[in-house]
C-alpha cells in the first residue's frame, strides 16, 4: 500500500499567474466574530455592540477585519503551504474594500504573482501570494499581498531524511 500525505506546494510547483481557489467557503457567524474579537482583546464597539453599531453607517456590526484576513490566509494553507512552508515573511499590502457581515460566506483565492530562489538560504524560495476574499455575492471584502519562504522539493527531502 502506498501512503500519500496531504501537503502544500514546493517552490517548483508554484505557477506564476495561476489562481488557486480555496474551497469550501466559510460562513461567518456572530459567535465567530465575538469570540475572535474578545480573544484578541479588541474592544471595538463596531464588532461587539449591536445597539451602537445600528447607528453607524453600515447599520450593524461588522466582522473583525483581522478575522477576515486570518481566514482568507488560513483557507490557503492546505492547498499551498501545508508542510512546505519555512516561514511567513510578511504582508506588504492589506486592504478591506467592503465589510463582511454576520452570516456572509467568505471565499478565498490566491494568485502567485512572483517567485525567486533565496539568495541566502539554498534549497528554499520566496513566493509572493496575492490573497483575495470575496463574499457570497462575489464582492471583494479583503486583499493581501504576502511573501512566504517555502522548501524546494529536493532540499526538503534531504532535510527531513538526513
How far is residue 93 from each of residues 74, 96, 132, measured CA to CA in Å?
17, 10, 12
CA distance 42 to 14: 36
Q: Is residue 1 over pLDDT 70? A: yes
Kindly report the pTM of this predicted structure: 0.92
pLDDT tens digit string along 36-79? 999 999 999 999 999 999 999 999 999 999 999 999 999 999 99
CB 123 within 8 A of CB 152: yes
How far is residue 26 from each of residues 16, 71, 120, 122, measured CA to CA in Å?
26, 8, 38, 37
pLDDT tens digit string along 68-105? 999 999 999 999 999 999 999 999 999 999 999 999 99
Q: Which three cell numbers stand for residue 22?
A: 480555496
Phi and psi at residue 86, to the nearest 5° = -95, -45
Check if CATH label 3.10.129.10 holds for domain 15-161.
yes
pLDDT of residue 3: 85
CB 114 within 8 A of CB 15: no
Structural domain spans, the chain? 15-161
Smallest CA-to-CA distance from 93 within 128, 58, 145, 46 is with 145
pLDDT of residue 155: 80
Q: Is residue 156 over pLDDT 90? A: no
Amino acid at each position: 500500500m502506498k501512503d500519500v500525505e496531504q501537503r502544500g506546494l514546493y517552490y517548483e510547483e508554484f505557477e506564476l499567474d495561476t489562481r488557486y481557489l480555496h474551497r469550501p467557503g466559510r460562513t461567518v457567524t456572530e459567535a465567530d466574530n465575538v469570540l475572535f474579537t474578545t480573544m484578541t482583546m479588541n474592544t471595538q464597539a463596531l464588532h461587539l455592540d449591536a445597539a451602537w453599531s445600528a447607528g453607524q453607517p453600515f447599520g450593524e456590526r461588522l466582522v473583525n477585519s483581522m478575522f477576515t484576513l486570518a481566514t482568507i490566509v488560513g483557507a490557503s494553507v492546505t492547498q499551498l503551504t501545508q508542510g512546505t512552508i519555512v516561514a511567513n515573511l510578511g504582508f506588504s499590502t492589506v486592504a478591506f474594500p467592503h465589510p463582511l457581515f454576520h452570516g456572509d460566506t467568505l471565499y478565498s483565492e490566491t494568485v502567485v504573482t512572483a517567485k525567486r530562489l533565496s539568495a541566502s538560504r539554498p534549497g528554499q524560495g520566496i513566493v509572493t501570494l496575492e490573497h483575495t476574499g470575496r463574499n457570497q455575492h462575489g464582492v471583494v471584502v479583503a486583499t493581501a499581498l504576502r511573501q512566504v519562504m517555502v522548501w524546494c522539493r529536493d532540499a526538503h527531502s534531504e532535510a527531513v531524511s538526513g
